[in-house]
Amino acid sequence: MKFSIYRYDPDSGGRPHMQAYDIALEPTDRMLLDALVRIKAHDDTLTFRRSCREGVCGSDAMNINGRNGLACITRIAELKEPVVIRPLPGLPVVRDLIVDMSQFFKQYNSVKPYLVNHEPPPEKERLQSPEEREELNGLYECILCACCTTSCPSFWWNPDKFVGPAGLLQAYRFIADTRDQATGERLDDLEDPYRLFRCHSIMNCVDVCPKGLNPTRAIGKIKELLVKRTV
Amino acid sequence: MGLPVRTFDAVIVGGGGSGLRAALELARADLRVAVLSKVFPTRSHTVAAQGGVAAALGNIEDDNWHWHMYDTVKGSDYLGDQDAIEFMCRRANEVVYELEHFGMPFDRLAGGRIYQRPFGGHMREYGKSPVPRACAAADRTGHALLHTLYQANLKANTQFFVEWMALDLVRDPEGTVLGVTALEIETGEVMILQAKATVFATGGAGRIFAASTNAFINTGDGLGMAARAGIPLQDMEFWQFHPTGVAGAGVLITEGVRGEGGYLLNKNGERFMERYAPNAKDLASRDIVSRAMATEIKEGRGAGKDGDCILLKLDHLGEETINRRLPGIREIAKKFANVDPVKDPIPVVPTCHYQMGGIPTNYHGQVVVPKDGNPEAAVPGFFAAGECSCVSVHGANRLGCNSLLDLLVFGKAAGERVIRDLRDDGAGHRALPKDAGERTRARLARLASQKDGERVADVGAELRRVMQLHCGVFRFPDLLQAGVQKLREVAARAARTEIRDKSRTFNTARVEALELDNLVETAVASLVSAEARKESRGSHDRADHPKRDDANWIKHTLWYKEGNRLDYKPVHTRPLTVESFEPKARVY
């Protein structure tokens, strides 16, 4: 099977380039990650992140034939050859398929992605009805792979100012949590021409999310809450 | 060569559940703490846990910690230490409620309390019938737990060293642990992280088997580091084979499927677990279910075109329940098994999943080794928690959802103990020995200069093949002996691997070569320990000694790298406050 893979090693002094690989796969190689691991067995200089190989850890996000996705749950059989693999767009490349995710995590951290509740915790669990808990579905499952944020043109233009879909999804995850008491502060923080309002509903995020989540909808709900509290 | 040194009060190696729980405890104590993780913390393998965390909350039916303790002792096949098991089960509610307070998105019951589901081996009234004890967030409990703990650490301002790999333990001539050497993967820089307390939370080593539910990163790094520094590894013959890994792919299908009412079928459509465990059936403990499945396959009743798998049926639960309680399983089955479980059963096989053994600790998380007649002398400055440790609460077989409980309880306990030790210790840092970085330097220099060596991938594949063939669900004396010999060859080959990648920047080839050293220590410890244990107990099943031998083998194995030798130490059969559970025949 034929691949064309982005290569760059700052240590070598060479320029970034696409390298062609033609590799015989085994019948057990079903996902793109299997193929990459097989290539690496022959050429150990090929560099990429990977861990769980089942789509829950978020390590192996990359741009596959022009589309962001996780290598470990992308079926080889469904890919057009040569398979063109590049690092996630919009973030600095460290080496080969590895990007520097600092900016992505900085934005994630900026939404204070943790529960804020000023009351002393009860002896047992805080109560939450199944319906209230249901509100967190489609939000808490995010694996921080950055497929969405790095497919978003608004993030490409303003990575330092626009929170991006992944961060905003998590912002709403805590706004939507009945146990959280910081909704006001969270909305204040996002009421900003850049942090939230750079989202123009392009919906690339929804299109690429490997977990089938919908950041655009979460962003819409935040906007709704902002409107509600002004009227 | 003197490596650069950075100094902390405590260094935690590993950013999974136990490392993050320990870090959270230390963050409250105003200590200078570094948490090292080879991957971004939420990529740690805790993220893949699915079914739940065990705690006798009793939210659905009556339950209590003593029943849970009984189940865990029985599940361990009486090899677990009963003081540690009592400690864990008594603290279960506390750590689960805390997690909820941190923001964990547990599923809920109508009254607003945490949802619980039945799980293998968890029973009411000392083994009577299954009880819902697994506190769950759909089938993504590990993901929800790990993200919640990471978020709580963000709130607490924990200092992370992300994509740093610890390479070797630093000890002084008295044996005190003074920190680790570590590689910053992105820059290739190596340094010593010196600390008064070093906590290993490095997870398991399931990657020593060819068919494994484990992530690529589960290479036993903590075990390798400990073994090279003269610390023995405990009970390494006990590896859990999870009954339901997706056939061919190895990806985990939670026991929660059976907790929700799914069951296993052979090729004749027979619900065969009724024959092996008439009472608990498909919710018997994992060692028993895995052996039953392997027996069905061996005796020609396996399903699939090659008769080499078993079918996990859950379509009768209905699409709504599957979508609500098992959405991740539906996703995995579609992706990795090409079946939609709403309509068709999932082909599954027993798959290596969890290491019951590890670095010997007590229930305070202190690493303990035999010294001057004391079988369990604490190693000053050294702690371990989670899968890399052997407390031992799991003994010869772990119960499902006791692993998430283990990492919470003992991550926290280790943190508490570190705080106490550092508070009582007015002294400064001990001097680093002159050769503190020597072992690491030698390993890196060897790798950098190796010529005509073998590829890391080839040696690793051979190691996994040997373990799979020689140390699986059923074990045979001749295969075990031959396996020990073969691993000797693998170890020799691993000592002369060669990497082509010489870059300093994010050199994953180097990382994989260094990981291979740790896989080798783990595999050798496992096979040598298994070869020597002449009985069948829990997950260790020998054809030549098919029965449990309580007269001779209620003892923990200790494997030392130096001299590849074994030692044994007594099991703690006395709990902390209650009566002992005496060994009896294990029937489910």
Per-residue H/E/C for A31-43: EHHHHHHHHHHHC
Distance, in Å, from the CA atom of A226 to the CA atom of A220, rounded to the nearest integer, reads: 10
Distance, in Å, from the CA atom of B237 to the CA atom of B535, rounded to the nearest integer, reads: 11
Chain A, window 43-62: residues with a beta carbon less than 8 angstroms from a chain B beta carbon: 43-45, 47-59
CB spacing of B505 vs A9 below 8 angstroms: yes
The per-residue pLDDT for B292 is 97
Counted residue by residue, chain A has a size of: 231
Whether B1 shows a pLDDT value over 60: the answer reads no
The per-residue pLDDT for B28 is 84
Chain B, window 29-68: residues with a beta carbon less than 8 angstroms from a chain A beta carbon: 39-40, 42-45, 47-48, 57
Whether A53 shows a pLDDT value over 90: the answer reads yes
Q: Which of B216, B179, B181 is nearest to B33 (CA)?
A: B179
For residue range B127-183, what is the model confidence (pLDDT) as tens digits?
999 999 999 999 999 999 999 999 999 999 999 999 999 999 999 999 999 999 999
CB spacing of A54 vs B251 below 8 angstroms: yes
CB spacing of A140 vs B144 below 8 angstroms: yes
Disruptive mutation site among B24, B37, B38, B40 for chain A (greatest number of A CBs within 10 Å): B40
For residue range B506-549, what is the model confidence (pLDDT) as tens digits?
999 999 999 999 999 999 999 999 999 999 999 999 999 999 99
Distance, in Å, from the CA atom of B166 to the CA atom of B11, rounded to the nearest integer, reads: 10
Over residues B456-474, the mean pLDDT reads: 97
Q: Which amino acid is at B263?
A: Y
- Percent of chain B exceeding pLDDT 70 equals 100
B112 touches A: beta carbon within 8 Å:
yes
- Please tell me which residue of chain B has the smallest CA distance to A114: B151
Whether B425 shows a pLDDT value over 90: the answer reads no
B292 touches A: beta carbon within 8 Å:
no
Whether B249 shows a pLDDT value over 70: the answer reads yes
The per-residue pLDDT for A182 is 98
Over residues B546-564, the mean pLDDT reads: 97
Confidence of residue B70 (pLDDT cuts 50, 70, 90): very high
A181 touches B: beta carbon within 8 Å:
no
Q: At what angle do helices B82-102 and B65-75 cross, to 10 degrees?
A: 120
CB spacing of A130 vs B97 below 8 angstroms: no
The per-residue pLDDT for A230 is 85
Q: Look up B286 and say whether it is catalytic.
A: yes
Over residues A118-147, the mean pLDDT reads: 98
- Please tell me which residue of chain A has the smallest CA distance to B139: A141
Whether A179 shows a pLDDT value over 70: the answer reads yes
Q: How many CB atoms lie within 10 A of CB A179?
A: 20
The per-residue pLDDT for B220 is 98
For residue range A68-105, what is the model confidence (pLDDT) as tens digits?
999 999 999 999 999 999 999 999 999 999 999 999 99
B107 touches A: beta carbon within 8 Å:
yes
- Please tell me which residue of chain B has the smallest CA distance to A130: B108
Closest partner residue to A144 among B42, B111, B456, by Cβ?
Answer: B42
Smallest Cα distance from A148 to chain B, Å: 17
CB spacing of B216 vs A109 below 8 angstroms: no
The per-residue pLDDT for B427 is 79
End-to-end Cα, chain B, rounded Å:
58
Confidence of residue A13 (pLDDT cuts 50, 70, 90): confident
Whether B95 shows a pLDDT value over 60: the answer reads yes
> Taking a C-beta distance cutoff of 8 angstroms, is the pair B534, B237 a contact?
no
Distance, in Å, from the CA atom of A173 to the CA atom of A60, rounded to the nearest integer, reads: 24
Distance, in Å, from the CA atom of A151 to the CA atom of A91, rounded to the nearest integer, reads: 10
Q: Which amino acid is at A51?
A: S
Confidence of residue B424 (pLDDT cuts 50, 70, 90): confident
Whether B13 shows a pLDDT value over 90: the answer reads yes
Catalytic residue among B124, B286, B441, B475: B286
Distance, in Å, from the CA atom of B366 to the CA atom of B70, rounded to the nearest integer, reads: 25
